[in-house]
Amino acid sequence: MARIVMKFGGTSVGDIDRIKNVARRVKAEVEAGNEVAVVVSAMSGETNKLVDFCRQIAPLHDAREYDAVVSTGEQVTIGLLALALQEAGVNARSWMGWQLPIRTDGAHSKARITTIETDTIIERMSQGQVAVVAGFQGLGPDNRVTTLGRGGSDTSAVALAAALKADICDIYTDVDGVYTTDPRIVSRARKLDKITYEEMLESASLGAKVLQVRSVEMAMKHNVRVQVRSSFSDAPGTLICDEDEIVEKELVSGIAYSRDEAKITLVKVADRPGVAASIFGPLTDANVNVDMIVQNVSHGGGATDLTFTVTKTDLERAVQVLTDARETLGYQELVADSNVVKVSVIGVGMRSHAGVAQTMFQALSAKGINIQVISTSEIKVSVLIAEEYTELAIRALHTAYGMDAA
């Protein structure tokens, strides 16, 4: 017997038949003798619709009322799933966030969970009752409903699993696991059996939209074993777990990419102490996140070029800030380029193995792809390249690291 949390996303509860399918899966776990809590999202499309209603009334809406509106999608699905379970002969009841309660801070529309009161549901689960809990929502310090940011039901599920000390948190979704790279780009991408929290965090923050980033942070912090799997098949998914649980570590576990990048080059900036601070200070003040940075070799004559990346959405603001400060910064020219993509190779294996970056550079050079900027961390090497080479680069790297499925 195990205690498990099962989470179902929007497509998995997208219509009545699918909700009945979820009830069947939950029933199977109950009949196998497990204690079960279920976390559900709103039916697919519902949250978008609710967000849009708020925007139509007021583009700059009161976040507390926004939360009152957008949290309702999950109320519908918990009630329907509890009914479907009862129809299937399973003892079940629904729980809104405030009924447990799931306590959060007061940051409406992007609140963080602080505590979850579990005494009552633990008692009922031990008596065989399934707890069907609304994802995405919580209760703020002033007793108003909060929401956790888009995709927040993943975080609800992991937080509940941590609070319940569950043996596993199964995240059922419309993909059957975590892949070595985007299968739409590489047909021979492989599903991973296991991936470490760190690697998953890197790929989640690089835009692989399988899980909300916060849910992975939470799982890592509380050591919750999370399995991503399909709600439409019985195949095992991908286990996200501690490094110690992975016996055969792969050198590289995946290739991620992000199209949400733009490059800025400041030509002929004065090459003297304090210049970087005077450039990045105003960008920080304007809330622009700078990611990769390179400073080129000096031109001689005390000037150098400085290149860095920001997100595409921040590009306009960054250019504005730097143009306004041109007098003080004293650069000759500003060149902006949003026709770029960041491609990253991720793997905890590179902590202990040299040569991972070199393999990447060679594979790209063999395809004639020019690397514009490079950045590295302990478990990741990223390069910035021209956007039109995205697919070519990812395929070449996938092959170079021996990840192609047989």
Q: Which does 47 bind (CB under 5 to 8 A by kind): Mg ion, ligand ASP, none?
A: ligand ASP
Residue 15 or 87: which CB sits closer to ligand ASP?
15
Nearest distance, CB of residue 115 and ligand ASP, angstroms: 20
- Out of 20, 64, 150, 188, which residue is the one contacting ligand ASP (CB under 6 A)? 150
Is 41 a binder of ligand ASP (CB under 6 A)?
A: yes
Instruction: Please tell me the distance from the alpha carbon of residue 399 to that of residue 406, in angstroms, as a whole number.
Output: 11
* Structural tokens at position 215: 């849910």
Residue 21 or 41: which CB sits closer to ligand ASP?
41
Instruction: Please tell me the distance from the alpha carbon of residue 68 to that of residue 282, in angstroms, as a whole number.
Output: 36
Residue 135 or 347: which CB sits closer to ligand ASP?
135
Q: Which does 136 bind (CB under 5 to 8 A by kind): Mg ion, ligand ASP, none?
A: ligand ASP
Instruction: Please tell me the distance from the alpha carbon of residue 167 to that of residue 4, in angstroms, as a whole number.
Output: 6
Residues 73-102 close enough to bind ligand ASP by CB under 6 A: 73
Nearest distance, CB of residue 157 and ligand ASP, angstroms: 9
DSSP string, 133-200: EESSEEE-TTS-EEE--TTTHHHHHHHHHHHTT-SEEEEEESSSS-BSS-TTT-TT--B-SEEEHHHH
Nearest distance, CB of residue 156 and Mg ion, angstroms: 11
3-state secondary structure of 24: helix
Of 103, 202, 201, 106, nearest in space to 160 by CA: 103
Whether cis (ω within 30° of 0) applies to the bond prior to 101 is yes
Residue 26 or 269: which CB sits closer to ligand ASP?
26
Residues 137-176 close enough to bind Mg ion by CB under 5 A: 151
- Out of 6, 7, 8, 9, which residue is the one contacting Mg ion (CB under 5 A)? 9
Residue 90 or 102: which CB sits closer to Mg ion?
102
Is 14 a binder of Mg ion (CB under 5 A)?
A: no
DSSP string, 35-86: EEEEEE-PPTTHHHHHHHHHHHH-TT--HHHHHHHHTHHHHHHHHHHHHHHH
Nearest distance, CB of residue 180 and ligand ASP, angstroms: 25
CB-count burial class (<10 Å; 0-12, 13-18, 19+) for 339: exposed
Of 39, 29, 38, 40, nearest in space to 2 by CA: 29
Nearest distance, CB of residue 41 and ligand ASP, angstroms: 3
Q: Please, are residues 240 and 228 in contact by the beta-carbon 8 Å criterion?
A: yes
Of 348, 210, 320, 199, nearest in space to 264 by CA: 320
The piece of 1-9, 25-33, 221-229, 305-313 that touches Mg ion (CB under 5 A) is 1-9
The piece of 88-96, 144-152, 240-248, 295-303 that touches ligand ASP (CB under 6 A) is 144-152
Residue 151 or 254: which CB sits closer to ligand ASP?
151
3-state secondary structure of 362: helix
Q: Which does 150 bind (CB under 5 to 8 A by kind): ligand ASP, Mg ion, none?
A: ligand ASP
Residue 209 or 351: which CB sits closer to Mg ion?
209
Name, in order, each residue with C-beta under 8 angstroms of 277's C-beta and a sequence gap of 6 or more. none
Residues 242-271 close enough to bind ligand ASP by CB under 6 A: none
The piece of 88-96, 151-159, 375-383, 396-404 that touches ligand ASP (CB under 6 A) is 151-159
Is 177 a binder of Mg ion (CB under 5 A)?
A: no
Instruction: Please tell me the distance from the alpha carbon of residue 202 to that of residue 347, in angstroms, as a whole number.
Output: 9
Number of H helices, E strands in the chain: 13, 20
Residues 45-74 close enough to bind ligand ASP by CB under 6 A: 47, 73
Instruction: Please tell me the distance from the alpha carbon of residue 190 to that of residue 183, in angstroms, as a whole number.
Output: 8
Please count the residues of this chain forming the interface with ligand ASP, following the rule CB under 6 A.
13
Please count the residues of this chain forming the interface with Mg ion, following the rule CB under 5 A.
2
- Residues within the interface to ligand ASP (CB under 6 A): 9-10, 41-42, 47, 73, 135-136, 150-154
List of residues contacting Mg ion (CB under 5 A) = 9, 151
